[in-house]
Structure 1
Amino acid sequence: MSLRVAATLRLVDHMAAGAHTPGELARATGADAEALHRLVRHLTAVGVFEEIAPRRFGPTGLGLLLADGHPLQQRSWLALDQIIGRADLAFTRLLEAVRTGRPSYEALYGRPFWDDLSADPGLGESFDALMATEEEAVDEGFIATRDWSGVRHVLDVGGAPGGLIQSIVRALPGVRGTLLDLPSPADRARARIAGRGLSDRIDVVGGDFFDELPVTADLVLLSMVLLNWQDDEARRILERCRDALEPGGTLILRERAEPSPDETTSTADLHFSLLDMRMLVFLGGRVRTTAEWRELAASAGLAITSLVTPITSPVVPFDFCLIEMTPVD
């Protein structure tokens, strides 16, 4: 929590601007000087800051990760006024989530996670910024994983903020794209795509993927979507995507990879279980094993025809997988 408070107060940025004493930092942040000194002293003890002179502090190499402009965006992941820091506070109600199987985010804030993002533009924008962190490096490995020859139209379902569909059409000049998401994130994605000069190749549609999808495509894409949902909801999304496939089309999922071929031990992996716990608390969703993906696909009238794993990411601390599905005749 001390790191989160330091991130929220932007202490590293204030230090970079010349505030080094507790008094200077207090004036810059509107905090109590003595309480802030105790916080900074504690973070010095654990290696985030260093005392460069009596009662004068600066960031260590570790502390520099909290700078607002750092490419890994750790400040935005931790700050309590940003979406993930806000959502992580729902872990204070983990007991309730475990007892009920329902997300504690909604119980804490009074509305579901996605509704909260749609209602608060600041939270929505902070989420989009985090999802866009080093996105081109992440997407490059995904695109290189399969043969895209013959693909004409990609429908990216739940695809805001739109980085992946932009990477696809830039890499594949003959492909056009459609992005579908809820109206608020769709509006933000539309502006972002226009700013990149890609409006002539990517249509953006506001809608709900639990309803009939408004367009068809020969390739329908779900990237890190289904882990947000429990099995019943995930099956309904898959069914909508199946129905939007043109004859001979393919549904592709990009999801969290199972970290080990040994299904008896894979869910004990730290990053697998951490993401899974966040899905429980934030959204009521879940991270799935390969066996669970096969079962879910079958329940939606689909069969897995290809599974590529792992797809290593140069940025995030876990691997992805690419799952291809086609309708069962």
Structure 2
Amino acid sequence: MSPSSDDDSAPESSAWYSAWQILATRIDLVTPWAIRAAATLRLADLIADGADGIEELSGRSGTDPDALSRLLRHLVSQGVFVEKQAGRFGINDVAALLLSDHPAGMKAMLDLDGFGGRMDVAFTGLLHTVRTGEPAWETVFGSPFWEYLADNENVASSFDAMMASGDDYILDAVGGYDWSEAAHVVDVGGGTGAFLAEVLQAAPTARGTVVDLPATAARAREFLAMRALEDRCDVVGQSFFDPLPPGGDVYVVRRVVHDWSDVEATAILRRCAEAAGSAGRVVMIESRGIAGDDPAMFAEMNLRMMVLAGGRERSVDDYAALAAAAGLRVDTTRTTPLGHIVFDCTSAS
């Protein structure tokens, strides 16, 4: 409960209230969880579909009417949704951001049944991470991050979809490298193949291979077939800690290395270096937060990666050091308009 401005019974009450006013926006958990609950229940979609009355909304969302009305009225008080008349709700510009078909994709990011919401739930174990230096994910969900995804297909599918979202962002990453001379591009940890599909669009004579764990590889086959690229692509279901498929002249690791500790990240890059050999190239693509342009984003993502899987964000020099430890040399780096850093690497030997 928040302190009351009318409570003057204790000398420290005014100090308490002042502190609350300063901290309230930083410590409030009611509204963030209420928004996530609304996203998970698809309330914006249901209201847009005409179910604006609390009884119908409750029936279609599988919720308790009284609890749902309290949830919605709190969100209305915070500027999310409107109450058009008693017990009947509508969508405003803020609530519209929670629609499943909104291009921002916020519904998926906030859905507590999918990867986006689970990623936030992991922070309930933050104290464990700070005390031990170990990821909180296993403490909260019962198994390490990657094992959990392997055992929970719906969350893994949600993770793959989120990694493949943002067409502009994918095209920006593709545009950060000249693919014109590439004959065979191997996308290591390539997810559903969304990035590789755009690479092959930019390099129409090249072939491609997606390497990812078997369940994700199956989704990649489906996606690439929908893009009519099955004749130009192979999909290999395996760990990238094992020897990678040979024959590529460019091995790409996009937004992969930051998921891992230094030891594991070096091992992934070493596998890429081994497969590329002396004639091939290894292209590492990460986010611009590493360049220090946005210290707040860097700090948040650095903490987030540790809580989830023990990964970390790094500086440009840090990534160059990882490459060197894996037997690679960074020949060039390039920053893209939307904020990727592209490291073009060759064998250091």
TM, length-normalised to structure 2: 0.87
Say if 2:36 and 2:111, in contact at 8 Å, map to a contact too.
yes
Looking at structure 2, the residues matched to 91 and 51 of structure 1 have their Cα atoms a distance apart, in angstroms, of: 32
Whether 1:63 aligns to 2:119 is no
- What are the within-5 Å matches in structure 2 for residues 44-193 of structure 1? 44-135=76-167, 137-193=168-224
One-letter identity of the residue aligned with 1:228: D
Question: In the alignment, what sits opposite 2:347?
Answer: 327
Question: In the alignment, what sits opposite 1:41?
Answer: 73
Structure 1 residue runs of 4 or more that deviate by more than 6 Å after TM superposition: none
Looking at structure 2, the residues matched to 109 and 17 of structure 1 have their Cα atoms a distance apart, in angstroms, of: 34
Q: Is the partner of 1:185 in helix, strand or coil?
A: helix
Say if 2:144 and 2:309, in contact at 8 Å, map to a contact too.
yes
Q: Which one has the largest radius of gyration?
A: 2
Higher strand proportion (structure 1 or 2): 1
Range with greater deviation from structure 2 (137-146 or 187-196)? 137-146
Say if 2:136 and 2:308, in contact at 8 Å, map to a contact too.
yes
| CA apart distance, 1:246 | 4.1
| CA apart distance, 1:233 | 0.4
One-letter identity of the residue aligned with 1:299: A
Question: In the alignment, what sits opposite 2:327?
Answer: 301
Range with greater deviation from structure 2 (236-245 or 31-40)? 31-40
One-letter identity of the residue aligned with 1:97: T
Looking at structure 2, the residues matched to 168 and 95 of structure 1 have their Cα atoms a distance apart, in angstroms, of: 41
Looking at structure 1, the residues matched to 210 and 176 of structure 2 have their Cα atoms a distance apart, in angstroms, of: 21
Percent identity for Structure 1 against Structure 2: 40
Q: Deviations over 1:112-147 (max 9, x none)?
A: 222222222211221222222233x22322232332
Summarize the Cα distance change of 1:327–1:259 in structure 2 as closer, same or farther, 3 Å threshold: closer
| CA apart distance, 1:205 | 0.5
5+ residue gaps, structure 2, are 1-32
One-letter identity of the residue aligned with 2:84: I
Q: Deviations over 1:148-179 (max 9, x none)?
A: 23211111101011101111111211110011
| CA apart distance, 1:259 | 5.9
Question: 1:31 aligned to 56, 60, 63, which one?
Answer: 63
| CA apart distance, 1:297 | 1.5
Q: Is the partner of 1:244 in helix, strand or coil?
A: helix
Question: 2:43 aligned to 2, 7, 11, which one?
Answer: 11
Say if 2:82 and 2:89, in contact at 8 Å, map to a contact too.
yes
5+ residue gaps, structure 1, are 261-265, 314-318
Say if 1:161 and 1:188, in contact at 8 Å, map to a contact too.
yes
- What are the within-5 Å matches in structure 2 for residues 179-328 of structure 1? 179-258=210-289, 260=291, 266=292, 269-309=295-335, 311-313=336-338, 319-328=339-348
Looking at structure 1, the residues matched to 173 and 135 of structure 2 have their Cα atoms a distance apart, in angstroms, of: 30
TM, length-normalised to structure 1: 0.92
Looking at structure 1, the residues matched to 337 and 65 of structure 2 have their Cα atoms a distance apart, in angstroms, of: 45
| CA apart distance, 1:201 | 0.4
Between 1 and 2, higher relative CO (CA 8 Å, sep ≥ 6) is seen in 1
| CA apart distance, 1:272 | 2.0
